[in-house]
A and B are shown apart, each in its own frame.
Chain A
Amino acid sequence: MNQNMRNMEYAVRGKVVITADSITSSLKTNPSAYPFSKIIYTNIGNPHSVGQKPLTWPRQVMALVDLPDDVGVDNPNVSKLFPQDAVERAKELKSYMGGCGTGAYSHSQGIRGIREEVAEFIEKRDGGIKCNPDDLFLTNGASTGIGHILTACISGPSDGVMIPIPQYPIYSASLALLGGKQVGYYLDENKEWSASIEELERSLKEAKKNGVNVRAFVLINPGNPTGQVLSSSAISSVIKFCSKHSLILLADEVYQENVYDPNKTFISCKKAATEAGMLGKFEMVSFHSTSKGIFGECGRRGGYMELTGFDPDVQAQIYKLASSGLCSGIPGQVMTSLMVKGPKPGDVSYDSHENEKKTIFDSLKRRAVMVSEGLNSIEGFECNAAEGSMYLFPKVDMPEKAIQEAKKQGTNVDTLYSLSLLEATGICVVPAAGFGQEPGRAGFRTTFLPQEEEMKQAVELFKSHHEQFLEKYK
C-alpha cells in the first residue's frame, strides 16, 4: 500500500479515542465496568456532540431551502412553523440556485450569490478592504481547502511546509500523505505561545541546510491547540518573513469568532497584510469554516478559502482540482451563507438569533476561564489562559517513573497519562505529543466544550486523577 498513507498520523482520532469508543460500547453491556457512566469527549472541537444547541434560525432557513417550494416556502401553512424572515432568506438563497435547488452540483468554486455574500462579510470584517468573489472557493470545511492548497504546492519529498509546534495535526497528516516534509517552528509557551522571527529564521535555515525546499508557512490564529490570539504586529512580522522568503502563507483563521480575552481582537492576515502594504505581493490563502465559531456546525462541512496574490495559472489549476471533486456540498454552502449573513436588525428573528449567539459565546468564555483556572490550581499543571479558540493545552509535570513506564510500553508519557485519565474518569483528551511540543514537555489538549456543569466536574476529575497518577508512579 501507499507508505505515505501508512506514515500519516492523526492524533485527534488516535489511540485514546479508539479506546474511548470501545469503553462506550462495553459500558452499554456492562454499565458498572468503569467508575463512570459515560465518556466525556473533550478530544475534538465538535460542539454539538457535547450539548451545544444549534442556532435556530440558520436551521430553519436550511430546512426551507431543502424543501421543494410546494411543500416548503409556498406551503400555505409555512408561517405556522417558520418565521417570515426565514422564509424570505430561503427564497433569496433559492434564487441564487436558479431553479436547480440544493440537489444539483454548483459551480466548482461554489454558488456565486453565496460567494458574493462571503465577500461582503470579509470586506466588512476587514474595514472595507476589497474582496473578489472570484478569489473565493467554498469548501467542505476548512480541511478540503487545506488539502487542495497543499496538493498544489508539494511536488516531491524535498518540498516542505513550515508548521507551528504545537500544531493542529491536519497539517502534519496532509504533508505526510502528500510525501512532503514538515518543517516545525516552535511557539514559545513562556511568551504566550508566540513565535519569534529568530525562531522562524532558524527553522528555515536548518531546513534549507537539509536540502528542503520550503514552499509554504502555516499560521493558526487564534491558535489550535494553543489558544493564543495574535497581535497585528506579530502577524505583520510573519507576513514579512513569508514575503522575504517567497513562502505561501496559509492563514488558518477558523477560530476568528472565538476570542474571549477582552483585551484581544482578531485581526485577519489580509488586514495585517494590507496595513503592511503587502497584500497581493505574496501568495496568501485564508481559511474559514462553519464548524467552529458560534455556529459549531461541524457535520455540515461548510467553509471557504480566499486566495490573494496568486499567479493566475496556479489559481486555474486549483480550480481544476476543485472541479475534479465537482463542488463542495450544498448544505455546507448554505450554512456558510447563513454564517456570514444572519437576520437583519428589525427582522422577526433578529433578537432571538443574537441572543442565542450571545448565550453560547458567554458560556464559552466562562468555561475558558473556569477550566484554565481550575487546571492551573492543580499542582504540577501549568496552563495558559485561552485567549481564543476552543482548547486548553496544559503542561503537566510527569513523575520519572511514569516516563520510564511509558518507554517500556513503547509509547510516550502523554499517551500513558491520557489513557490513565480516560480509564479512571471517562474524560477523553488528546495527548500533547499528537500536536508536537518541545522535547521534554508533556501534557494534553482538552476542549472546554461540554456544558458548564459537566466541565466543572471535569476539572475536579482532572485533579483527583492527577493525584492518583502521582501516587501510582511515586
Chain B
Amino acid sequence: MTARLGLGLARGVSGVGNRAAAYTLRPFSAEPKVLFGQYLANARNTEMLFDSIGDGKEVLTKEEVQAFLEDVKPFIRPEALDEIEAKAAGECLNREYFKKWLVLATRFDSQRNSKMAKYYGMLGEQSGAVHKEPKSWNESTMAQNLRRMQYAVRGQVVMKAETLMAEGKEIIFTNIGNPHSVGQKPITFYRQVLALCDLPPQYGVDHPEASKMFPADVIARAREMQDAIGGSGTGAYTGSQGVLKFRQDIASFIEARDGQPCLPGNIFMTNGASSGIQAILTGLIADMNDAVMIPIPQYPIYSALIALLGGRQVGYELDESKGWSVSTETLKAQLDKAEAEGLRVKALAMINPGNPTGQVLSEEDVFTICKFCCANGIVLLSDEVYQRNVYAPGKQFHSAKKVAMERESELRNLQLVSFHSTSKGLIGECGRRGGYMELYNIDTFVQTQIYKLASAGLCSGVNGQIMTSLMVKGPEEGGESFDLFIKEESEIMESMKRKAKMLVKGLNEIDGIDCEDAEGAMYAFPRIQIPQKAIDAARKKKQSPDTLYAISLLEDTGLCVVPASGFGQADGRIGFRTTFLPPDDVMEGAVEDFKRHHEKFCEQYA
C-alpha cells in the first residue's frame, strides 16, 4: 500500500513528483464503502479512498459524485450533504474540491476549530484548483488522526478571544479551569517549599539568613524533600514513576482518604492528569475497532486522544433531567450497540466530580459504573481531578478505588486506573504540570509496559512532583505556616462555593437559560433556548448554534465561554460551559452580562 497524492502530483508538481511513479489508476468501484469505513474509523487509507473516487480524473461528473454518495450517505452530516448535492447538480466537480469537502463533511463533531472553518469558508468561495504550491507534508498527507482530533477548550472561540485581546479588548476567560490566570493566588507554603527545593542548599536551606525569608517549617519540609530526591536535586531525571518518597506521601494520602491500603509501586507520577490519560489510552487502543466509552457531555481530552490514537469513542449520555446521572440501562444499550458494530469496548471513562457537568456521584452511582465495567471486562478510567472541589451541602466525593475495595466481593476483577492532578482542587497549580495515576488490579505485564512508556518520557517534571507531594501533605498543625495555609485554603474554598451558587442562581434567573447545580468541579453547563432564526443563521455560517452564540457573547461582553457542542450533548440541546473562577465581583458582573447579552441576542434573531 503506497500513499498517493492524487492526480495533480501524478503530473509532477515540483518537489513531490518523485512519488508520482507509484501512482496507479484505480477504477471507481465498490471499494469506497469499505475504504470509507476505515477512514471513518481511524482516518487511515485516506489517500486510497481519494484515489478510488472518479478514476483519477481531475473533474468528477455528477453521476460519479452521486454514485459515491449513495455508498456513504449515512455517514455524512446532512447540511454538508445538501451543499455537495446542490453543487454537483449543475456541473462537474473539481476533484480536489471534492476531497476537501469529504474530509470536512465527515468530521465526528459538529464544532470546527477556526483553521478548519477558515478553510471551509475559503472553499465556499473558490471551486477551482488549489493554487498554492503544495508542500510534501500538508493537510492530506499528514497524520489524519491528528487532523481530525478536536480540542474545543482551545478552539475557535478562544482564538477569537485572543485576537480581540490583542486588539485591546478586555476579555474574561471563563473557558478554562486555569485558576491562577484569573486572579486566584497561589498558596504561600507550597511556593515557599518549592522555591527552597530548587535553590542549591548553600543559597537556600543552609543559607545563614534563610530564616529571614522562610518560615521554619518551610525550611524543614524543603530539607526533607531535598533528602528524598537525593543529592542530585531537582535538576536530574528521577525514577520513571517519580521519586519514591513522594509516591509514599501519595499512598498515605490515598489510605487516609479511602481507609484502604495503597501501594507506592502502583503510583505513577505524571505531567498533569493529561499525560497519564494519554499513557493509558495508548496502552489500550490497539486498532480502529477498539473503543472507549466516554460520557456525553465529556471533557474533550478523551475524544481528542481517542481520535489521535485511531480508536473509536462510544458515548453514553448523562441524563440532564436527573442531575447528570447515568443508568446501567444506558450503559448496556451503548455497549450492545457498539459490539453489534464490531467494536471492542476496552475502557470506560468516568469523570467525578463531572466536567463539564459538575455533578458529584453518590457512592451507589460509582458502584453502578464499577459493576458495569466489572461485568463486561472493561477497564475503568476514573478521572478524579476535582475530588476536592465539592460544594453542595450533603455531597461527598467517593473514589472508585474505595468503592472497588470496600465492595471487593461484588467487584472482583475490576481493573481500574484513577487520575489526580495539581491543576484543580484548591491548589490550582496548572502551570506546574503535576499529577499522578494509581493502577489497581492491572495485569502485571501491562503495568511493565506502562512503566516502559513512562521511561521513554524519562520522568514527569520534578517541580510537578514536588507540588504533588505538597498537595497531598500540607504543613503540619502547630507549624509556623499552618494558620496561614488553612486561611488561604478556606478562603479559596468559600469563594468557590459562593461563586458556584451565585452563578447557577443568576443563570437560572435568565429567561431561556436553565442550569443544573454545580455540586462540584469548577463549571456551570447551562442549556439555552435561542430563536429558530439564530439556528438558521448558524447553519448558514456553517457553525454550530452554540458557537454562534458564544462568539456573539464574546464580542458583546468579553466573556469567553466554550460552546457546549465541544463537549458533546443531546441532539438539539444548545448551551455553553463557563467556569466560576474569576473573582467574586467579576463573576457578579458576568452574570449581569450573561443576562443582558441573552436578551439582546434573542431580540436580534427574533
Contacts and interface: CB of A to CB of B under 8 A. Distances in A.
B275 A325 contact: yes
Contacts of B232: 46, 48-50
Interface string A299-316: 111000000011101101
A297 B459 CA distance: 13
B445 to A, nearest CB: 8
Nearest to A247: B136
Interface residues of A, number: 96
Contacts of B430: 103-105, 326
B181 interface: yes
A299 B459 contact: yes
Contacts of B139: 311, 313-314, 317
A340 interface: no
A378 B502 CA distance: 77
Interface stretch (A75-83, A219-227, A406-414): A75-83
A106 interface: yes
A232 interface: no
A47 B236 contact: yes
Given A67-B191, A246-B18, A103 B186 contact: yes
B469 to A, nearest CB: 14
Interface string B445-472: 0100100110111111111100000000
Interface stretch (B90-98, B208-216, B252-260): B208-216
A48 B1 contact: no
Contacts of B455: 10, 12-13
Q: Which of B138, B271, B452, B463 has the most CB of A within 10 A?
A: B463
B191 A299 contact: no
Contact of B236 (A173, A245, A299, A325): A299
B180 A143 contact: no
B213 A80 contact: yes
Given A5-B283, A329-B431, A77 B213 contact: yes
A120 interface: no
B431 A324 contact: no
Contact of B180 (A10, A44, A104, A329): A104
B142 A324 contact: no
B291 to A, nearest CB: 14
Interface in A410-428: none
Interface string A55-93: 010011011101110011001011011000000000000
Interface residues of B, number: 100
B580 to A, nearest CB: 17
A209 B259 CA distance: 61
A128 interface: no
B199 interface: yes
Contact of A56 (B151, B203, B304): B203
A166 interface: no
Nearest to A179: B310
B433 interface: yes
A101 B461 CA distance: 18
Interface in B390-439: 423, 428-433
A327 to B, nearest CB: 7
B18 A63 contact: no
Interface string B330-367: 00000000000000000000000000000000000000
B203 A324 contact: no
B44 A156 contact: yes
Interface in B238-283: 238-240, 271-272, 274-275, 282-283
B213 A81 contact: yes
Nearest to A245: B18
Contacts of A173: 456
Closest 8 CB pairs of A and B: A330-B431, A299-B462, A246-B136, A63-B195, A104-B181, A48-B236, A49-B232, A49-B236
7 contacts: A63-B195, A100-B180, A155-B142, A213-B19, A298-B458, A310-B135, A320-B115
